[in-house]
Amino acid sequence: METVTKPAATGTSAAPGGPIAVIAPAQDQIDGFHLVIDALKLNGIDTVFGLPGIPITDLTRMLQAEGLRMISFRHEQNAGYAASIAGYLTGKPGICLTVSAPGFLNGLTALANATTNCFPMILISGSSEREVVDLQQGDYEEMDQLAIARTLCKAAFRVLHAEDIGVGVARAIRAALSGRPGGVYLDLPAKLFAQSIPAEAGRRTLIEVVDPAPRQIPAADAVKRALDLLRGAKKPLILLGKGAAYARADADIRELIEKTGIPYLPMSMAKGLLPDIHAQSAAAARSYVLPEADVVLLIGARLNWLLSHGKGKTWGGKGHKDWGSQKFIQVDISPQEADSNVKIDAPVVGDIGSCVSALLAGIGANWPKPPAEWTNAIAERRDRNIAKMAQTLALDPAPMNFHSALNVVRDIVKSNPAAMLVNEGANALDFTRSIVDMYQPRKRIDVGTWGVMGIGMGFCVAAAVVTGEQVIAIEGDSAFGFSGMEVETICRYNLPVCVVVLNNNGVYRGTDVNPTGGPDVAPTVFVKGARYDMLMQAFGGVGVNATTTAELRAAMEEAIRSRRPTLINAVIDETAGTESGRITSLNPSTKKK
Ligand SMILES: Cc1ncc(C[n+]2csc(CCOP(=O)(O)OP(=O)(O)O)c2C)c(N)n1
Ligand SMILES: [Mg+2]
C-alpha cells in the first residue's frame, strides 16, 4: 500500500504545519492495475488473450477477478493472433497482454500481421524500469519496446502515470478502430501498476470512447463518377475483399450485387459474404474474368500481390508489368490506397458501409443488367470448371489426397454453415479455399495478406471464445506445427474445436530427398507417419487417426456432435502437394538451363 500525502484529518498526530503521512484506506485509492481494468471494461472489452509473468501476472489475475475472460496461452504469438482475429470478428479491438522484452517480441509478429491485415488489435505489454532501460543499465528484460513497436503498427503509446491510463487506453482504442483498422501498441511500465491515486478522481480520468469508428461518408461526386463508369461497362466485375466482410454491410453488399446483376469474385476471407453457390459468383471462372473485365469495382480489396497488383498476364497485360485495359473503381476507407499499383479511375473514399449504401442509392431501380454475352460466357466456364472439379472430388483414392479429404470437409461445412473455418498451409490452404464453399459472412479466417503460417490454433481459440460456434480448422502439417502446443489451451478451456491436420509428411509434400545421400532428411520433410492426433489425446481431447474418407467423415461428424476438442490426423498421399501450392511462381529460382 502506498504512503500518500493527505490534508490534515482529525485524530492524526503529525507535527503542526507538515504534511501528514497516512496509510490510505484501500477503498479510497485505486491502483494502476484497476485503472487499466476499469478503462477496458468501460469500453466494452470483455476478453483478454495473453500470457502471465512479470510485471503483468497480477493484472491477469485481477482481470479474471473483475469478471473479464482472461484466456491464457502457451506462447504470446498465438495469443496475439487470437486477439487480432477477435478484433476482426467482433469489431472491437482484440487485446493481447504480454510480459516485457521476449514476451513483447513474441506478440509483435501478430501485431504487425494485424496491421497488414487491417485487424483492430491492441498489444499491451508490461515493460521494465524506464530509467534503467534508457541508460541501458541491464534491467530484467530490458528493451526499448515502444521504439521497436512503433515501426510495426498503426500507433504506439506509453503511459507513465496512473492518471493517464484512461487517455492511453482511449487513444489505443481509437487508433485501432478508426479509419483503416490496425494494430496498436500500448506500453505499460511495471511501476505504473502499483501507482495509486484517489479512487474517485482516478475514475474521472477514464474515457468511454464515443464513436470509435466514425462513419466516413463518400463525396457525392466520387460516387457519381464511379456509377457513370460502371453504367457504361460491357464486362463489369465486382471484387470483394475482407474489408467488405469486416464492414458488416452484408445486406447492402448483397443488394448491390443482385440489383446490378454484376458477376463478383470474393477474396479468401470475403467468401461467404454471399453464399459461394450464388449464381453471380465468378469464382470458378477467375482466370477468365480478370483479364476480360472492362470495369472492375473493388470493395474493400487492395490490388496487392494476391490480385497480381492489378496488372500482368492475370489482368490481360502482355508482360508481367504491363497493365491490362480495364478501368478500376476502388471503394476503400484509406484515401492513400488508390493508385498504389495501377491507375484507379474512380476512387470512392469512405467507410465501406456508407460507400456501398451511397452506390446503392445511386443505382436506383432501372439499372441495366450487364450484357448477356458476358454473364453467359462466365456461366459457361464456371459450369464447366465446376463439373470438372466434381469429377475429381468424386474419386476416392487410397491413400487420401487433398481433393478427397476436402470433399468431406466441403460436405461437413455445407451442413454446418454457421461453423467457423480456420485455414492455413500451402496446398492445404489453396485447395480448401477453392473446394470448400462458404455460406455465411466472416466464417472463413485464414493466413491473410501475408500468407503467414502460425495463425491456426490462436484463431481457433479466439473464434470459439468470441463466437461460441463450432470451429473447424483445416491445417497443413507444417502449418499446424507453428501453434500446435495450443491444443492444450483448446482442451483447458474445453473449446468446440475440430482440427484436421492434412498430413502429407512435410512442407508442400513429403517426398524430397537429401541430394547428398547423407543421414539428414531434406529440409521440407518431417517424421513420416507422425500421429498429431496423439498430441490432442495428451491433454484429454479426442484424437483420431483417419486413413480413409469414411473415417474422416465419421470423426468430423462426431466432433461436431460432441463439441469436444478433437484433432484428426488425416493421412494424405505424400506425393499429393505441389511446391508452394498455387504460388509456385513466386519462388525465386536460378534461370532454367
Ligand atoms: C511464418 C511463416 N514461415 C514460413 C512460411 C513459408 N511457408 C509457406 S506454406 C508453409 C508450410 C506448407 O506446408 P503445410 O502446412 O504442410 O501445407 P501443405 O502444402 O503440405 O499442405 C511454409 C513453411 C510462411 N508462410 N510463414
Ligand atoms: Mg504438409
Q: What is the C-alpha separation between 469 and 45, in angstroms, rounded?
A: 20
pLDDT digits (tens, 9 = 90+) for 185-204: 999 999 999 999 999 999 99
Nearest to 470, CA basis, from 554, 560, 553: 560
The preferred substitution site among 106, 400, 475, 478 for testing ligand 1, maximizing ligand atoms within 8 Å of CB, is: 478
Find residue 444's DSSP bridge partners.
421
Amino acid at 526: F
Please tell me the pTM assigned to this model.
Answer: 0.94
Give the phi and the psi of residue 264 in degrees, each rounded to 5. Answer: -135, 155
Contact present, 477 and 496 (Cβ < 8 Å): no
Amino acid at 222: A
CA–CA distance from 137 to each of 34, 80, 140, 142, 489 (Å)?
A: 30, 29, 10, 8, 37
**Mean pLDDT, to the nearest integer, of 561-568?**
98
Indicate whether 297 pLDDT > 50.
yes
- What's the 74 CA to ligand 2 centre distance in angstroms? 23
- What's the 475 CA to ligand 2 centre distance in angstroms? 8
pLDDT digits (tens, 9 = 90+) for 24-83: 446 799 999 999 999 999 999 999 999 999 999 999 999 999 999 999 999 999 999 999
Tell the residue nearest (CA) to atom 18 of ligand 1: 508
Quote the cell numbers at residue 343: 491507375
Using pLDDT thresholds of 50, 70 and 90, give the confidence band for residue 13: very low
- What's the 409 CA to ligand 1 centre distance in angstroms? 20
- Averaged confidence pLDDT in the chain: 94
Ligand 1 nearest-atom number relative to CA 475: 15
- What's the 479 CA to ligand 1 centre distance in angstroms? 5
3-class DSSP state of 121: strand
Ligand 1 nearest-atom number relative to CA 507: 13
Spatial CB neighbours of 589, under 8 Å, sequence gap ≥ 6: none
Quote the cell numbers at residue 194: 502499483
Indicate whether 21 pLDDT > 70.
no
- What's the 576 CA to ligand 2 centre distance in angstroms? 9
Question: Counting every residue, how long is the chain?
Answer: 593
The preferred substitution site among 508, 574, 579, 582 for testing ligand 1, maximizing ligand atoms within 8 Å of CB, is: 508
pLDDT digits (tens, 9 = 90+) for 462-487: 999 999 999 999 999 999 999 999 99
pLDDT over 90, % of the chain = 91
Tell the residue nearest (CA) to atom 25 of ligand 1: 452
pLDDT at 16: 45
pLDDT at 301: 98
| Residue of 23 and 64 predicted with greater confidence | 64
Neighbours of 9 (CB within 10 A): 9
Tell the residue nearest (CA) to atom 4 of ligand 1: 453
Using pLDDT thresholds of 50, 70 and 90, give the confidence band for residue 590: low
pLDDT at 26: 61
Using CB distances shorter than 6 Å, the residues near ligand 1 are 425-428, 451-454, 476-479, 502, 504, 507-508, 577, 581
Quote the cell numbers at residue 166: 484512461
**Strand runs (DSSP E) across 460-578, as ranges?**
471-476, 497-503, 542-546, 566-571
- What's the 114 CA to ligand 1 centre distance in angstroms? 19
Find residue 183's DSSP bridge partners.
121
**Mean pLDDT, to the nearest integer, of 171-189?**
98
- What's the 512 CA to ligand 2 centre distance in angstroms? 12
Ligand 1 nearest-atom number relative to CA 109: 1
Tell the residue nearest (CA) to atom 13 of ligand 1: 507
pLDDT at 143: 96
Tell the residue nearest (CA) to atom 1 of ligand 1: 453
Q: What is the C-alpha separation between 513 and 520, in angstroms, rounded?
A: 9
Q: What is the C-alpha separation between 77 and 448, in angstroms, rounded?
A: 16
Contact present, 30 and 196 (Cβ < 8 Å): yes
DSSP conformation class of 295: E
pLDDT digits (tens, 9 = 90+) for 475-525: 999 999 999 999 999 999 999 999 999 999 999 999 999 999 999 999 999
Find residue 330's DSSP bridge partners.
298, 347
pLDDT at 589: 74
Tell the residue nearest (CA) to atom 8 of ligand 1: 426
Spatial CB neighbours of 415, under 8 Å, sequence gap ≥ 6: none
Neighbours of 582 (CB within 10 A): 14
- What's the 582 CA to ligand 1 centre distance in angstroms? 12
Amino acid at 277: I
Tell the residue nearest (CA) to atom 5 of ligand 1: 453
Indicate whether 558 pLDDT > 80.
yes
